[in-house]
């Protein structure tokens, strides 16, 4: 099977939605919290110092500083601003309260788990850990020097982001693999930006032997490694000597639901995108990203002094946006697009695969219409004019938030170019990039006093036709930004 077959098979059409009506087995809903039980659990400092660098500056690539002097505070700060619980929401009919996290997730199902390997961090034992967001603690799965792949990294801190596809498939069926990949992209940027806000560089590797990493990290059978993220910087508090002997605790992974259904397309695309042998570190030069220009030059971006820490923790997905007449400014849009187009640091991110199409509904100085963004020249090219509200909502599976927003987006990826550079593995990379851009959109919108929502469901072919895309282009993610309808059920 190839990425193309999976992608075609999981496109939404009116017909496919009618054939697979939406019914959820609530009794079997997977637990969104994984625990590795029976291992030592280490506290991460409560209430770590908030990164106070302005969020928009961080999104533009400026580094902040950390006052952390030892490992537990540094790790606590990093995870509190990238992966921790940040709010809760109440189901009004039952009073049941559930957790929301710093990183967003389709359906709030959170398929992504954060594992990390530490070396020589001050007052923190070397080892392999799994982050437990439910209590903001670290499960110590091994103590000592652990390799996560042959010829592994010497960095003091390396994360392994894994996915549990069943969590998403429970709700979204075979299309869920796409959402798991988006989620990894969001989690990666949440981590990379929190790291940068506390003065750390990060670099992500998508190219690694999957089974070897899963075995060396002794991952549970339902977890698959997706991205390795290495953190390096003088701001990571380290000491000189190594701990030597390795002791494995491993731990028993909790069962997430009573039963687990199989999804054949997910098994196949996962197998097709796996690598078994990665003899050389890959920084492949993909064919360059096409360039173009538009007739509208974007103005200098709006600024904001809101601190990264506050923005990261207050970020929420809007359930809907205030339709009305209130618009956003072109300078705000310019700031959002500038942060979305920043370079990503990963072995697959040399030449971006993504292009943004905008459905502008209410942006001052921009006629309603569809525009293509050309990041290098900071220009917009108008490809359609006229009111797009009904169309944007309709293409997003009738979700009104895409029409009530000030601006909605189609992220369009060149999956063929990705496959020419990376084979089927490229399918993962395009979705990681889309999720990463989505995360930057969320934070930029929040920094500017707006709200945002990622939209994973859209009618693929209709978008393709409407935007008159070339055959090699595929829509991979939708997004909306505007003024959120207040949600009284959320508590910070």
Q: Minimum Å distance from CB 183 to ligand FMN?
A: 6
Q: Minimum Å distance from CB 176 to ligand FMN?
A: 10
Q: Minimum Å distance from CB 101 to ligand FMN?
A: 6
Which is nearer to ligand FMN, 120 or 186 (by Cβ)?
Answer: 186
Cα–Cα–Cα angle for 139, 119, 52, nearest 5°? Answer: 80
Which is nearer to ligand FMN, 119 or 313 (by Cβ)?
Answer: 313
Which is nearer to ligand FMN, 124 or 442 (by Cβ)?
Answer: 442
Spatial distance between the Cα atoms of 491 and 89, rounded to a whole number of angstroms? 6
Contact 314, 350 (CB under 8 A): no
Which is nearer to ligand FMN, 331 or 457 (by Cβ)?
Answer: 457
Which is nearer to ligand FMN, 66 or 103 (by Cβ)?
Answer: 103
- Count of residues in the chain: 492
Which is nearer to ligand FMN, 405 or 448 (by Cβ)?
Answer: 405
Which is nearer to ligand FMN, 50 or 314 (by Cβ)?
Answer: 314
Farthest-apart Cα atoms in the chain, separation: 67
Residue 43 CA to its chain's centroid (Å): 26
Q: Minimum Å distance from CB 491 to ligand FMN?
A: 12
Which is nearer to ligand FMN, 189 or 341 (by Cβ)?
Answer: 189
Which is nearer to ligand FMN, 74 or 466 (by Cβ)?
Answer: 466
Reduced 3-state DSSP string for the chain: CCHHHHHHHCCCCHHHHHHCCCCCCHHHCCCCCCCEECCCEEECCCCCCCCCCEHHHHHCCCCCCCCCCCHHHHHHHHHHCCCCEEEEEECCCCCCEEEEECCCCHHHCCCEEEEEEECCECCCCCEEEEEECCCCEEEEEEECCCCCCCCCCCCCEEEEEEECHHHHHHHHHHHHHHHHHHHHHHHHHHHHHHHHHCCCEEEEECCCCHHHHHHHCCCCCCCEEEEEEEEECCCCCECCCCCCCCEECCCEECCCCCCCCCCHHHHHHHHHCCCCCCCCCCCCCCCCCCCCCCCEECCCCCCCCCEHHHHHHHCCECCCECCCCCCECHHHHHHHHHHHCCCCCECCCCCCCEEEEEEECCECCECCEEEEEECCCCEEEEEEECCCHHHHHHHCCCCCHHHHCCEEEEEEEEHHHHHHHHCCHHHHHHHHHHHHHHHHHHHHHHHCCCEEEEECCCCHHHHHHHCCCCCCEEEEEEEEEECECCCCCEEC
Which is nearer to ligand FMN, 357 or 442 (by Cβ)?
Answer: 442
Q: Minimum Å distance from CB 107 to ligand FMN?
A: 6
Q: Minimum Å distance from CB 259 to ligand FMN?
A: 24
Q: Minimum Å distance from CB 448 to ligand FMN?
A: 17
Q: Minimum Å distance from CB 312 to ligand FMN?
A: 11
Spatial distance between the Cα atoms of 82 and 64, rounded to a whole number of angstroms? 15
Contacts of 351 (CB under 8 A, 6+ apart): 285, 286, 287, 288, 289, 417, 421
Which is nearer to ligand FMN, 375 or 435 (by Cβ)?
Answer: 435
- What are the residues binding ligand FMN (CB under 6 A)? 100-101, 104-108, 179, 182-183, 186, 316-317, 399, 453-457
Q: Minimum Å distance from CB 314 to ligand FMN?
A: 10
Which is nearer to ligand FMN, 104 or 394 (by Cβ)?
Answer: 104
Q: Minimum Å distance from CB 392 to ligand FMN?
A: 13
Q: Minimum Å distance from CB 58 to ligand FMN?
A: 19
Contact 273, 3 (CB under 8 A): yes
Residue 182's alpha-carbon distances to 241, 437, 443, 477, in angstroms, are: 39, 10, 16, 8
Q: Minimum Å distance from CB 309 to ligand FMN?
A: 16
Q: Minimum Å distance from CB 287 to ligand FMN?
A: 27
């Amino acid at each position: 099977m190839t990425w193309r077959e999976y992608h075609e098979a999981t496109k939404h059409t009116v017909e496919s939605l009618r054939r697979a009506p939406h019914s959820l087995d609530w009794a079997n809903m997977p637990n969104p919290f994984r625990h590795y039980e029976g291992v030592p659990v280490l506290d991460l400092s409560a209430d770590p110092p908030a990164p106070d660098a302005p969020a928009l500056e961080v999104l533009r690539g400026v580094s902040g500083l950390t006052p952390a002097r030892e490992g537990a505070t540094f790790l606590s700060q990093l995870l509190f601003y990238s992966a921790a619980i940040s709010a809760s929401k109440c189901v009004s009919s039952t009073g049941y309260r559930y957790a929301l996290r710093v990183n967003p997730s389709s359906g709030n199902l959170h398929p992504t788990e954060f594992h990390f390997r530490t070396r020589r961090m001050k007052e923190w034992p070397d080892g392999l850990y799994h982050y437990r967001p439910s209590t903001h603690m670290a499960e110590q799965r091994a103590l000592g020097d652990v390799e996560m792949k042959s010829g592994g990294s010497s960095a003091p801190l390396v994360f392994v982001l894994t996915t549990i596809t069943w969590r998403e498939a429970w709700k979204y069926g075979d299309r869920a693999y796409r959402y798991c990949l988006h989620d990894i992209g969001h989690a990666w940027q949440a981590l990379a930006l929190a790291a940068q806000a506390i003065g750390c560089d990060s670099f992500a590797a998508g190219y690694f032997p999957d089974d070897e990493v899963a075995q060396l990290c002794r991952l549970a059978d339902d977890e698959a490694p997706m991205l390795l993220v290495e953190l390096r910087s003088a701001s990571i508090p380290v000491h000189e000597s190594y701990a030597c002997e390795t002791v494995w605790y491993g731990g028993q992974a909790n069962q997430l639901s009573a039963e687990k259904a199989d999804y054949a397309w997910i098994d196949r695309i996962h197998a097709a995108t796996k690598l078994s042998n990665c003899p050389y570190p890959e920084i492949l030069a993909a064919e360059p990203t096409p360039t173009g220009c538009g007739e509208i030059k974007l103005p200098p971006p709006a600024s904001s002094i809101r601190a990264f820490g506050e923005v990261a923790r207050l970020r929420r997905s809007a359930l809907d946006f205030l339709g009305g007449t209130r618009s956003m400014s072109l300078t705000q849009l310019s700031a959002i697009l500038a942060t979305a187009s920043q370079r990503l640091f990963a072995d697959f991110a040399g030449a971006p695969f993504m292009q943004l199409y905008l459905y502008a509904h209410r942006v001052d100085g921009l006629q309603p219409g569809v525009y293509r963004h050309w990041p290098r020249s900071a220009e917009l090219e108008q490809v359609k004019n006229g009111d797009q509200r009904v169309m944007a909502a309709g293409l997003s599976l009738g979700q009104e938030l895409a029409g009530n927003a000030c601006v909605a987006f189609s992220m369009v990826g060149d999956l063929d170019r990705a496959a020419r550079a990376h084979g089927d593995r490229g399918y993962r990379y395009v979705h990681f990039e889309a999720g990463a851009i989505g995360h930057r959109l969320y934070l930029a919108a929040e920094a500017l006093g707006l709200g945002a929502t990622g939209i994973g469901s859209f009618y693929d072919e209709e978008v393709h036709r409407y935007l008159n895309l070339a055959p090699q282009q595929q829509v991979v993610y939708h997004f909306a930004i505007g003024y959120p309808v207040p949600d009284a059920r959320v508590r910070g």
